[in-house]
């Protein structure tokens, strides 16, 4: 089913639900009161608490996978379910007599969900996403503190705050939420048309349902059948997103294997869990388009991690090297085959085209939730230390460190692998060429650390084969 069909289906379901609500609201005999406070408390509280646990797991997974988009979604779910749990516990007639606290928590929960969904839809290089990625370790404690403050304020409200649940206020909040959901849904829809990832499709469907939830919540009479319906629709919308996350990030292996991969300590073990099937499919498509680079992405990731370890890079940055190295050439998907696999020298026009693949990959991946470190690896792995590289002509320390590391790993593997325009170089010659490029093409510190690695074990484990035949200098121009 293509994207347009999914999008139409979501809107059709949403419109049918909205029409059903309007029909019930305009026919009181079809919309009786079902005053069941204990049922409401147990169903809402238990469901919300279970969803909260799932949301926390998603958040932990997002931290380990270094995906800021997934992290923002998890914060939206945590905000929703924490406040919705209070909504259930505070059901009028059981622990509280007033309906004020119950209504405010419900409205606030979906507002925060909408805000976080909107934030998650922003590209990874947007200023707010860069800030969140830079402080991602502290975000969960900050969110917990924020929700705690909100809870304290809500518990202190009295009937003087009744304006919060009056119709003008509720309609104003509903309008803000609808804007959040519309922006998030439209952005994810555009992203899905480009990358076809299941999470994006799920969010498009879910935002349609959440718009219906918001309309019902802000206009329905409490305890009527139509009012009860928004609880079910809200639950279904959350389940759709969780299912999309599971489909996008679950590997083809068993769930136990996937979880072990997520919590592994070795960055190269974790890379299999860090890249879901759809992103892995993009990598495989890159290598299918350029068969001479089969395994190149994985080897570059492995070499980059080895060099990062040698340079004392912390574990969080090693994870970025592993993931960024695995997808650094994904932009080649959109380079024509006759250029990508051309034997011999490229023309100036062809070279300019192929030099766009870092920018293409960057534009593709910034909408998939990759953090700034990975995006910088994708965009800048062909920059040169002397400023003569591409696409941005960065020089020296202007080039991010992880990109400088990946550049060495990328060129080494390119030199020691057979290509359409030349055979592979011997290990010793490739090492000499990298040493000769210190201070011009490569960061001298990276080259020095590279030369100190025991490469016998590294190259054997990568499966590299080094033929004895040595190509001419003109044959290696495209790698260096």
pLDDT tens per residue, range 427-469? 889 999 999 999 999 999 999 999 998 766 554 444 433 332 3
CA distances, 423 to each of 267, 311, 476 (Å): 31, 31, 9
Residue 327: CA count within 13 A, CB half-sphere: 32
| Interval 302-324 mean pLDDT | 89
Burial zone of 121 (CB within 10 Å; 0-12 exposed, 13-18 middle, 19+ buried): buried
Beta-ladder partners of 419: 422
Given this model, what pLDDT does residue 255 score? Answer: 40
312: left (phi > 0), else alpha (psi -120 to 50), else beta? left
Rg (Cα) of the chain, in Å, rounded? 27
More confident residue, 383 or 236: 383
Q: Angle between the 136-155 and 127-134 helix axes, to the nearest 10 degrees?
A: 100
The top-scoring range by mean pLDDT among 10-19, 46-55, 108-117, 335-344 is 108-117
Of 4-13, 298-307, 435-444, the least confident: 4-13
What the block records as the tokens of 472 is: 């001419």
Q: How many CB atoms lie within 10 A of CB 29?
A: 6
| Interval 356-367 mean pLDDT | 90
The percent of residues above 70 in pLDDT, for the chain, comes to 79
Name the maximum alpha-carbon separation found in the chain.
Answer: 87
Minimal CA–CA distance to 276: which of 248, 245, 295, 243?
A: 248
Of 315-324, 390-399, 442-451, the least confident: 315-324
Mean pLDDT of the chain: 79
d(CA 305, CA 299): 10
Of 175-189, 229-243, 258-272, 350-364, the least confident: 258-272
pLDDT band at residue 381 using 50, 70 and 90 as cut-offs = very high
Of 76-80, 150-154, 234-238, 419-423, the least confident: 419-423
Given this model, what pLDDT does residue 98 score? Answer: 61
The pLDDT tens digits of the residues spanning 397-418 come to 999 999 999 999 999 998 888 7
Please check the confidence at residue 375 and state whether its pLDDT lies above 60: yes
pLDDT band at residue 117 using 50, 70 and 90 as cut-offs = very high
Of 95-104, 252-261, 368-377, the least confident: 252-261
For residues 216 and 209, the answer to whether their CB atoms sit within 8 Å is no
Given this model, what pLDDT does residue 11 score? Answer: 66
d(CA 263, CA 267): 10
For residues 226 and 264, the answer to whether their CB atoms sit within 8 Å is no
Helix (H) or strand (E) holding 294: none
Please check the confidence at residue 475 and state whether its pLDDT lies above 70: no
DSSP letter for each residue of 37-81:
HHHHHHHHHHHHHHHHHHHHHHHHHHHHHTBHHHHHHHHHHHHHH
Tokens 């029909």 belong to residue? 23
Pseudo-torsion of CA 368, 371, 377, 378, nearest 10°?
10
Given this model, what pLDDT does residue 268 score? Answer: 54
Minimal CA–CA distance to 434: which of 460, 457, 452?
A: 452
- Phi/psi at 67 (5° precision): -125, 105
Given this model, what pLDDT does residue 460 score? Answer: 42
Minimal CA–CA distance to 381: which of 359, 365, 363, 349?
A: 359
- Phi/psi at 249 (5° precision): -105, -10
d(CA 341, CA 292): 8
Please check the confidence at residue 179 and state whether its pLDDT lies above 90: yes
Given this model, what pLDDT does residue 33 score? Answer: 83
For residues 67 and 129, the answer to whether their CB atoms sit within 8 Å is no
| Interval 127-138 mean pLDDT | 89
Given this model, what pLDDT does residue 293 score? Answer: 62
| Interval 316-323 mean pLDDT | 86
What the block records as the tokens of 150 is: 């909100």
DSSP letter for each residue of 78-93:
HHHHHHHHHHHHT-BT
| Interval 90-97 mean pLDDT | 69
pLDDT band at residue 389 using 50, 70 and 90 as cut-offs = very high
The top-scoring range by mean pLDDT among 25-39, 43-57, 377-391, 464-478 is 377-391
Please check the confidence at residue 283 and state whether its pLDDT lies above 50: yes
More confident residue, 154 or 167: 154
Given this model, what pLDDT does residue 379 score? Answer: 95
For residues 181 and 202, the answer to whether their CB atoms sit within 8 Å is no
| Interval 29-36 mean pLDDT | 83
Given this model, what pLDDT does residue 115 score? Answer: 94
DSSP letter for each residue of 212-258:
HHHHHHHHSPTTBHHHHHHHHHHHHHHHHHHHHHHHHH--SS-HHHH
Given this model, what pLDDT does residue 463 score? Answer: 40
Given this model, what pLDDT does residue 158 score? Answer: 63
Given this model, what pLDDT does residue 384 score? Answer: 95
Please check the confidence at residue 273 and state whether its pLDDT lies above 50: yes
Given this model, what pLDDT does residue 220 score? Answer: 83
Given this model, what pLDDT does residue 47 score? Answer: 77
Given this model, what pLDDT does residue 476 score? Answer: 40
d(CA 87, CA 110): 12
What the block records as the tokens of 130 is: 């860069």
| Cβ-based neighbours of 50, under 8 Å, separated by 6 or more | none
The percent of residues above 90 in pLDDT, for the chain, comes to 24
């Amino acid at each position: 089913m293509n994207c347009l069909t999914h999008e139409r289906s979501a809107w059709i379901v949403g419109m049918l639900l909205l029409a059903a609500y309007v029909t019930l609201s305009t026919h009181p005999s079809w919309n009786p009161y079902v005053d069941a406070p204990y049922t409401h408390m147990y169903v809402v509280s238990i469901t919300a608490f279970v969803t909260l646990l799932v949301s926390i797991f998603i958040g932990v997974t997002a931290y380990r996978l270094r995906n800021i988009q997934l992290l923002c979604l998890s914060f939206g779910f945590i905000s929703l379910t924490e406040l919705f749990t209070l909504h259930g516990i505070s059901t009028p007639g059981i622990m509280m007599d007033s309906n004020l606290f119950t209504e405010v928590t419900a409205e606030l929960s979906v507002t925060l969900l909408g805000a976080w969904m909107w934030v998650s839809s922003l590209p990874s290089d947007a200023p707010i996403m860069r800030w969140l990625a830079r402080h991602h370790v502290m975000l969960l404690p900050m969110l917990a503190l924020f929700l705690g403050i909100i809870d304290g304020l809500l518990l202190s409200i009295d009937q003087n705050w009744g304006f919060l649940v009056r119709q003008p206020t509720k309609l104003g909040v509903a309008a803000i939420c609808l804007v959040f959901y519309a922006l998030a849904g439209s952005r994810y829809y555009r992203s899905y048309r480009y990358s076809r990832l299941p999470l994006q499709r799920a969010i498009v469907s879910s935002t349609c349902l959440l718009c219906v939830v918001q309309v019902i919540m802000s206009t329905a009479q409490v305890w009527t059948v139509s009012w009860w319906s928004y609880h079910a629709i809200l639950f279904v919308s959350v389940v759709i997103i969780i299912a999309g996350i599971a489909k996008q990030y679950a590997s083809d292996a068993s769930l136990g294997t996937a979880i072990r991969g997520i919590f592994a300590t070795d960055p190269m073990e974790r890379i299999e869990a860090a890249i879901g099937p759809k992103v892995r499919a993009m990598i495989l498509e890159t290598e299918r388009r350029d068969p001479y680079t089969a395994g190149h992405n994985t080897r570059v990731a492995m070499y980059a991690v080895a060099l990062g370890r040698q340079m004392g890079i912390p574990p969080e940055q090693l994870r970025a090297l592993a993931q960024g190295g695995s997808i650094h050439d994904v932009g080649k998907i959109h380079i024509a085959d006759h250029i990508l696999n051309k034997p011999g020298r490229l023309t100036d026009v062809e070279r300019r085209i192929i030099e766009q693949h870092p920018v293409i990959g960057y534009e593709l991946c910034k909408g998939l939730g990759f953090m700034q470190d990975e995006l910088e690896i994708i965009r800048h792995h062909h920059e040169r230390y002397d400023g003569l590289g591409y696409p941005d002509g960065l020089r020296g320390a202007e080039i991010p460190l992880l990109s400088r590391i990946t550049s060495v790993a990328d060129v080494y593997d390119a030199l020691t692998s057979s290509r359409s325009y030349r055979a592979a170089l011997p290990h010793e010659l490739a090492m000499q060429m990298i040493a000769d490029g210190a201070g011009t093409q490569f960061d001298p510190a990276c080259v020095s650390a590279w030369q100190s690695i025991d490469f016998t074990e590294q190259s054997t484990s990568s499966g590299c084969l080094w033929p004895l035949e040595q190509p001419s200098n003109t044959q290696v121009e495209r790698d260096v």
